[in-house]
Structure 1
Amino acid sequence: MADNKFSTLFSFYDGDYKDERACWQKHGVKILDVDEAGNVKFIVYGYMNRGRHEGEVGISVYYFNGMMNTVEELLYVPDGSSYEVLHAELEELAYVNRAETFFFMHKGVVYAVDLGDRTYETMVSELREESYRVSDSNRMVVWQTGDNLYQCEKLILMNLNTKAKTEIKAGNGEYIAPLGFMNEDLIYGVARKEDVVRSNTGNIIFPMYCVRIQNENGKVLKTYEEPGVYVIGSEIQENQINLTRLRKEESGIYVEAEDDQIVSTKIESGGSNTLETVAVDVYGKIAQIAVKGVIDVGGIKKLTPKEVLFEGGREIALQNNNTDVPRYYVYGKNGVEGIFTDEGNAINKAYDLSGTVINEKGAYVWIRGNRSIKNQIMAIKGATITEEKNSLAVCLDTMLQYEGIMRNTEYMLNRGDTIVEILGENLEGARVLDLTGCSLDAVLYYINKDIPVLASLNDGNAVLIIGFNELNTVLMDPLVGEPFKKGMNDSTEMFEENGNRFITYMKE
């Protein structure tokens, strides 16, 4: 605005509302970099309404030259996913540094693309929810090493400007987890191994006795620690960190403690333009730019940049990262509300949002509210334990027999196979779902689909949930023999006391 000029950097709209291509809002625009000369790098992602990529879904990187008043496409990455998925991924991480390297996240992988020769490399792959954090500027990224979120002993902190990586290790007998960033400073927590336990509802409690704030150079700026008090979560808002805490009683049980706050005394420099949301009436809001100076409205010039034409294409095709890590997309009223690798976490999120879970193949995994008043799997009859088979083996045999498969699961259990492994190896064309930590109300979705749910109990036994109505569940307990009804409230309480450890499957 120094020269009182406005430039329309990109738009699919051409002034004709009758053209459907102008009004189809399945794309997004994100500014990556603006320099002092007014040059801008930005991305357009999602469905391409018109132009050389019309009808495709992908990511385009553009460069606006403020001096020449031109826009040039630097890179195009075609993709087979939806706008909603790309929006969730790219709004979390899309960054370009001064060396003309474009970083972005897609399907749990962070890619680095050289905008000059259009070659790329993988920075990190198989990222899982809660295992990484990105700063608001997208310049700093941190992730856990290893496969288990709650047994990590090392973090990798990366500066995308320089590609420099810093290792942050936990001490002996400790685990470490990233909590987020305050500006570019990393916030992480440390927990003792013996303190990490599973709650009565089946969820892992990761009590961090210490929280540290560390800058990119490795200097610890602040350490938060209070004897007998543990941090289990955090929320970062501007210059304040709100800590969710527990207190450990003498009996070893964790109970809720009051939240606490860490407040940064760093004063942000003013004098910059900001984007703010303003309510204009009871039902509507607008986004507006609050500028640092006065604008000469009468002298504003609106410019339309010219497109730089080039021969050939500037497209790169990402090689398929062969990974066994599944991905679950939670859809709510605002599109994709979360991307998960743990099916239980995805269903819990969708349950709270009254949403839907879809896997990486586009198949429905779970839907809130799509359930009958009652249903029972009549093909499953009673079965009892024997001298050769305990209740868990009977439940597994019954699940497999229901699908027409005869196996000796007692033998498999004795050789050390887990429930998930046994079902996964023997149920062809099915995906086993570990729903530990989900509520009974949530898992009834599968009984409604005529799929039994196995519930593990603390004493080593197991039961099958095979039916429900408004007041009861129908259980098949091998210790009892015949299926029987149990009150819904009593069932909910029983399964919660046993950790809500549910396992089922879905057809693929």
Structure 2
Amino acid sequence: MLKQIYRILILIGVFIVSLYYFSKDIKEVVFDFDNTTIMEETTFPLITLRTEGVIVNRLHGYSSNLNANTVREALTPIGADGTFEVIIDEKAYEIKKLNFEVREFVGNELIEKGSVSVFDEENNLKTAKIRIGSELENDKEYAVKITLITSESRKIYFYNRIKKYDGANLAQKVNFVMEFHEAIKDKSKAEEYAIYLEPDRKKDNTTLANVNIHSGFDLITWGNLNPEFITEVIPTVVENYSDIASFVLEYVVKSEVSGVPEFYKVKEYYRIRYTPSRMYLLNYERRMEAFFDIKLASTSVSQLKLGITSDTDIPYMVSDDKKKVAFVRNRELWYYDLEINQIVRVFSFRQENTDYIRDIFDQHDIRILNIDPEGNVNFMVYGYMNRGQYEGRVAVVLYEFIRADRRIEEKVYIPVDEPYQKLKENMGEFAYVNSMDVFYFHLYDSIYAYDLITRHLTVLAENVDKDHVLTFYKEGYVVWQEAEGPGKTKDIKIMDIETGEIQTIESRQGYKIILLDKIDSNLIYGFVPEDEITTLIDGTVIVPMTGIEICTTQKEVLKTYYKDGYYITGVEVKDNIISLYRAQKETIGGQNIYLNVSDDYIMNQSVESTPFIKVVPRISEEALTEYYIQLPSGFTMDKLPETVTTVNTIISEDPTVRLPKDIRNSGKDEEEKKDQMKFYAFIMGELQEAYDEAADAIIAADEGAGVVLSSVNHLVWERGVKANKSVLSQVESLNIPADQNTVESCIKILARYLGKNIDNENLDTRRISAYEILSKYTDKVPIRLTGISLDQALYYVSKGRPVIAMTGYSEAVLIYGYDSLNIYVIDPKQGKTVRMPLQSGSELFEKAGNVFISYLE
């Protein structure tokens, strides 16, 4: 009996000791506010630059050490003495030293570096004087990195461009812009500037959201809004030449609308021409966006106010029970619980003590990935981080919003080495977190799967551009196709995004399969005979499809299209109609030519869907056209929603995921890298879009008065800087023998102009394109310009680069000069130079398809 009592006492003792021991190691799963925090306020310094006596270009600091030649935020013209000043607003830091580097844009070669440790101080600002000692070429852009070093040895980086002029006339240009900006605040004073405007009665004068040089005088002078300007306006120089310059002004205004104060972000764009006698206003644009404010909701009709805006596309996602909705507005994420009439500001860089200068630096965006039945939301923030623990970094960050605790938890942090403008063009549409905690994302032409539990990163596919990924979230699938160049596509993959299971749609024997598009919940693809794939003289690869198929994500073929003698060169899906662009084949001079013929169409049964929320307009006297979010029928907003904010979870594990550095170029040789170069159209100081073809980017930049850069920083094209006359007299001095193979002759003459003699080479232009030959035999990067106009192509001649122009399927001339009436060409068939009227030349080249080839510097 006594032994039994001892045993019981021993067991009780062991139990108590075990309970004490293990309780120390049991993790608490209930969150409280002891392990959460609010987002830190901004701390980084701001700098502005003073050059030629004027202050321009407010720059934001990066903690990421980017390549200076990847950032295109602002341009600083400098004079012949090579000097400019950096004005530093230190904010939370004490700056002890400034370093600077000047580099080439193409190749990133270091030109000069230096440092400043003695500053002038005035009005709580520090000023550093920089002098570039190296001999810079006039009118050529260089990349500049400015590094501020704090008293704690922290480095903060700023990026800019400089361009040297003997006379930039910058002060006169800036003065005109600022005087115009000030004048339009006052209608009577603005009358003096009415001569610069070009009013057009066809222009929509019912909105203040988008005003331009063609708008009515009353609209340009702010109508009845009477705004109060509440931030300092520092002009940003976007582009500058000896006569033409472009500027951007960004600021915040406040106005009383129906007696209630509202705030707006405003961006003005100016493009002007300077002459000694007067200024010309070539372009004027003003865009205005209201700050989203829940307090402005209209309870009587259950609407949330957007206000003045030209962006009526609201990204949103709804829970299955239709009672919870997450949406993005002004780069902020909001969550509305309709059942309890509570709205949560889930994520925002806007601060409680608002710093409008930081708040309007909109170099980031938010994407909602999914929302579960409980209302928890997965979302991505990508771009420049305005504040918080990643302040100044460029990254992609995955968060989860946990509705019950009103907190957000960071899941993944992916640092990137390029600015937001380029990052957004390299982000694909596909991003998703499944129920197994696998995070899928498409970035830099690769598709990844990251297991949030095991923290393992898998590369699912490479060489997948944005046009070759289709998402079917409702059905639970993603479809993609890898490609190693035009006409080099692989089989189509269909992946179940919940299970990760991958199916394949394989091509037929002797054919390539091309993923084209989707319609409703079905995918469209076509088949191309391998022996029909043709490379044209300009390097364009023609992939004529003999038929297409429409199938489900379960690989069930629903429809096949095939018509004997016809080839499909592309498709376009709009509403419930598939347009088929068709061609017929002819063989001319031993080369297959595909001539466009009439389009055909496939009708699809329309699937009607009612949006959960919609945007509706309303008119007010002060603000004219404003917009509101109309919440779903059946919901009544009895009172203003309760507004709450989130806290950030403090995490103990490092969430950093680093992508393989060589993933963008894996498996590609140098020729493929050149051929797959992207072209960026910068318009009004922003990267509008990335294009696969230079011609598409040039056409966009011409319409928007912008510039085009290549993905490796070549300056490809500029609007409005082509000289009135240019003749490359060196070309005329070259030997020009008569030759019936005009394409080969033009290539050889161009090579000789570049200092390369390839006269004895057998170029075989029927088998190898002129693009490939120039790439092989010269040290220049050739560029295909097919599709632009003759006037746009003459930019290259103006820059000292002859242009090969096709006059037929297999004939060409070399353009080497022009004036106001004529172009000057070498015609190898005649063996001499020829002067041709501009109009005649334009018609000749257009009839041949506007096929132009030149090269980049």
Of the candidates 252, 274, 277, which is equivalent to residue 615 of structure 2?
Answer: 277
Q: Secondary structure at the match of 1:121?
A: strand
Contact 1:244 1:258 (C-alpha < 8 Å) held by counterparts: yes
Partner of 1:99: 436
The one-letter code of the counterpart of 1:186 is L
Partner of 2:801: 451
CA deviation vs aligned residue, 1:27-79 (integer Å, no higher than 9, x gap)? 11111110010101111111111111111211111111011111111111122
Partner of 1:307: 648
Q: Residue 348 of structure 1: CA displacement?
A: 5.1
Contact 1:140 1:184 (C-alpha < 8 Å) held by counterparts: no
Contact 1:135 1:181 (C-alpha < 8 Å) held by counterparts: no
Q: Secondary structure at the match of 1:380?
A: helix
In the aligned structure 2, how far is the partner of 1:193 from the partner of 1:245? 20
Partner of 1:32: 369
In the aligned structure 2, how far is the partner of 1:285 from the partner of 1:105? 36
Contact 1:152 1:177 (C-alpha < 8 Å) held by counterparts: yes
Contact 1:128 1:341 (C-alpha < 8 Å) held by counterparts: no
In the aligned structure 2, how far is the partner of 1:23 from the partner of 1:212? 47
Matches within 5 A, 1:341-420: 341-347=692-698, 350=701, 355-386=706-737, 391-392=742-743, 394-403=745-754, 405-411=755-761, 413=763, 419-420=770-771
CA deviation vs aligned residue, 1:258-314 (integer Å, no higher than 9, x gap)? 65342225554x6x733x333345975546253353134327322211110124642
Of the candidates 597, 603, 627, which is equivalent to residue 262 of structure 1?
Answer: 603
In the aligned structure 2, how far is the partner of 1:225 from the partner of 1:49? 54
Of the candidates 514, 518, 522, which is equivalent to residue 177 of structure 1?
Answer: 514
In the aligned structure 1, how far is the partner of 2:586 from the partner of 2:738? 42
In the aligned structure 2, how far is the partner of 1:248 from the partner of 1:341? 25
Q: Residue 145 of structure 1: CA displacement?
A: 4.5
Partner of 1:424: 775
In the aligned structure 1, how far is the partner of 2:618 from the partner of 2:709? 36
Partner of 2:493: 156
**Number of residue pairs aligned between Structure 1 and Structure 2:** 501
In the aligned structure 2, how far is the partner of 1:316 from the partner of 1:127? 21
CA deviation vs aligned residue, 1:98-139 (integer Å, no higher than 9, x gap)? 222222232322222223344322222223464444457696
In the aligned structure 2, how far is the partner of 1:79 from the partner of 1:3? 40
In the aligned structure 2, how far is the partner of 1:241 from the partner of 1:414? 43
Contact 2:519 2:573 (C-alpha < 8 Å) held by counterparts: yes
Of 77-86 and 378-387, more deviation after overlay is shown by: 378-387
In the aligned structure 1, how far is the partner of 2:630 from the partner of 2:684? 27
CA deviation vs aligned residue, 1:425-452 (integer Å, no higher than 9, x gap)? 4543x32213344443332221121111
Of 171-180 and 44-53, more deviation after overlay is shown by: 171-180
Structure 2 unaligned regions, length at least 5: 1-336, 588-592, 666-672
Change (3 A) 1:227 1:83: same
Change (3 A) 1:352 1:204: farther
Partner of 1:328: 679
In the aligned structure 1, how far is the partner of 2:708 from the partner of 2:628? 31
Partner of 1:474: 824
In the aligned structure 2, how far is the partner of 1:204 from the partner of 1:283? 50
The one-letter code of the counterpart of 1:262 is M
Of the candidates 125, 142, 157, which is equivalent to residue 479 of structure 2?
Answer: 142
Name the TM-score, length of structure 2 as normaliser. Answer: 0.52
Change (3 A) 1:186 1:414: closer
Q: Residue 344 of structure 1: CA displacement?
A: 4.5
In the aligned structure 1, how far is the partner of 2:645 from the partner of 2:728? 64
The one-letter code of the counterpart of 1:273 is F
Of 31-40 and 490-499, more deviation after overlay is shown by: 490-499
CA deviation vs aligned residue, 1:451-475 (integer Å, no higher than 9, x gap)? 1112356575543211123332211
Change (3 A) 1:151 1:241: farther
Change (3 A) 1:483 1:118: farther
Say whether 1:52 aligns with 2:402: no
In the aligned structure 2, how far is the partner of 1:438 from the partner of 1:33? 42
Of 132-141 and 298-307, more deviation after overlay is shown by: 132-141
**Identical residues among aligned pairs (%):** 26
The one-letter code of the counterpart of 1:182 is I
In the aligned structure 1, how far is the partner of 2:808 from the partner of 2:547? 31
Q: Residue 190 of structure 1: CA displacement?
A: 3.6
Change (3 A) 1:118 1:346: farther
Of the candidates 468, 472, 492, which is equivalent to residue 842 of structure 2?
Answer: 492
CA deviation vs aligned residue, 1:314-341 (integer Å, no higher than 9, x gap)? 2222222252342222344695444334
Partner of 2:632: 291
In the aligned structure 1, how far is the partner of 2:700 from the partner of 2:854? 18
Name the TM-score, length of structure 1 as normaliser. Answer: 0.84
The one-letter code of the counterpart of 2:617 is A
Of the candidates 388, 407, 410, which is equivalent to residue 70 of structure 1?
Answer: 407
Larger relative contact order (CA 8 Å, sep ≥ 6):
1
In the aligned structure 1, how far is the partner of 2:410 from the partner of 2:651? 9
Q: Residue 487 of structure 1: CA displacement?
A: 1.8
Q: Secondary structure at the match of 1:316?
A: coil
Q: Residue 9 of structure 1: CA displacement?
A: 0.5
Change (3 A) 1:280 1:123: farther
Change (3 A) 1:242 1:182: closer
Contact 2:739 2:829 (C-alpha < 8 Å) held by counterparts: no
Change (3 A) 1:138 1:218: closer
Change (3 A) 1:31 1:145: closer
Matches within 5 A, 1:235-250: 235-238=572-575, 240-246=576-582
Change (3 A) 1:217 1:496: same
Change (3 A) 1:418 1:298: closer
Contact 1:277 1:285 (C-alpha < 8 Å) held by counterparts: no
Q: Residue 165 of structure 1: CA displacement?
A: 2.6
Contact 1:200 1:497 (C-alpha < 8 Å) held by counterparts: no
In the aligned structure 1, how far is the partner of 2:522 from the partner of 2:849? 37
Structure 1 unaligned regions, length at least 5: none
Of 332-341 and 6-15, more deviation after overlay is shown by: 332-341
> What is the RMSD computed on CA atoms of the aligned residues?
3.8
The one-letter code of the counterpart of 1:478 is P
In the aligned structure 2, how far is the partner of 1:235 from the partner of 1:257? 14
Change (3 A) 1:210 1:148: same
Contact 1:383 1:481 (C-alpha < 8 Å) held by counterparts: no
In the aligned structure 2, how far is the partner of 1:497 from the partner of 1:350? 24
Change (3 A) 1:392 1:294: closer
Of 77-86 and 255-264, more deviation after overlay is shown by: 255-264
Contact 2:445 2:664 (C-alpha < 8 Å) held by counterparts: no
Change (3 A) 1:366 1:159: farther
In the aligned structure 2, how far is the partner of 1:318 from the partner of 1:287? 41
Q: Residue 219 of structure 1: CA displacement?
A: 0.8
